[in-house]
Amino acid sequence: MAKGVVGKLTMNDFVIICSGTNDIDRNYSRNAFKNITTFIKNVNHTNMILISVPYRYDLTDYSHVNSTMKSLNSKLLKLAKIFSHVSIIEILNNRLLFTKHGLHLNESGKELLSNQLVLHIFSILEEVIFNPITLEWYDKNPQVNASSITRSSHTLNPISCQLPTK
């Protein structure tokens, strides 16, 4: 059934692939990358957006999982450069965007990622001017200003996003 649905997609549609650290944690990152690459090659009639694998703040920087995650993200970035129908959104790896335990994005992190995704899709479809509206909302976590996100080529790099300082 999935093949049938994907086969009907056009360049006005999007497939979003969001990878996690479970495969990396179990040493399946090569297999995961191979599967993503095969899928991208086979489904070249629609837009694909890859989302980078998030950093694990519950582990040390030099842990096997975090070093493998960096390598996988580098490979995913290369895929976005090779295939014209593929782009990537890099998750901003800032500790303020993750839960206390450090494994998952918190509400601010999810909000930023969803804003990046919407802006990225609109920029590809060229339906709106790339001017995000920042909404005020109550949160115990710091707010993130996504208004400075820019898109160049096939990548959306969140490094230009600014976290407000207190």
3-state secondary structure at position 40 = helix
- Per-residue confidence (pLDDT) for residue 68, from 0 to 100: 92
- Per-residue confidence (pLDDT) for residue 138, from 0 to 100: 58
- Per-residue confidence (pLDDT) for residue 1, from 0 to 100: 42
Pick the closest to residue 132 from 124, 143, 142, 122 (CA basis): 122
- Per-residue confidence (pLDDT) for residue 28, from 0 to 100: 82
How would you class 8 by CB atoms within 10 Å of its CB: exposed for 0-12, middle for 13-18, buried for 19 or more? exposed
Q: Which residues pair with 148 in a beta bridge?
A: none
- Per-residue confidence (pLDDT) for residue 79, from 0 to 100: 95
- Per-residue confidence (pLDDT) for residue 133, from 0 to 100: 66
Question: Which two structure tokens, joined as six digits, stand for 140?
Answer: 């115990």
- Per-residue confidence (pLDDT) for residue 147, from 0 to 100: 53
Is residue 21 within 8 A of residue 56, CB to CB? The reply is: yes
- Per-residue confidence (pLDDT) for residue 53, from 0 to 100: 94
**C-alpha to C-alpha distance for 7 and 45, rounded to whole angstroms:** 8
Which residues of the chain are under the pLDDT cut of 70? 1-3, 127-133, 136-166
Pick the closest to residue 151 from 117, 106, 127 (CA basis): 117
- Per-residue confidence (pLDDT) for residue 142, from 0 to 100: 57
Q: What is the pTM of this model?
A: 0.73
- Per-residue confidence (pLDDT) for residue 40, from 0 to 100: 96
- Per-residue confidence (pLDDT) for residue 128, from 0 to 100: 43
User: Diameter of the chain by CA atoms?
Assistant: 51
CATH superfamily of 2-160: SGNH hydrolase (3.40.50.1110)
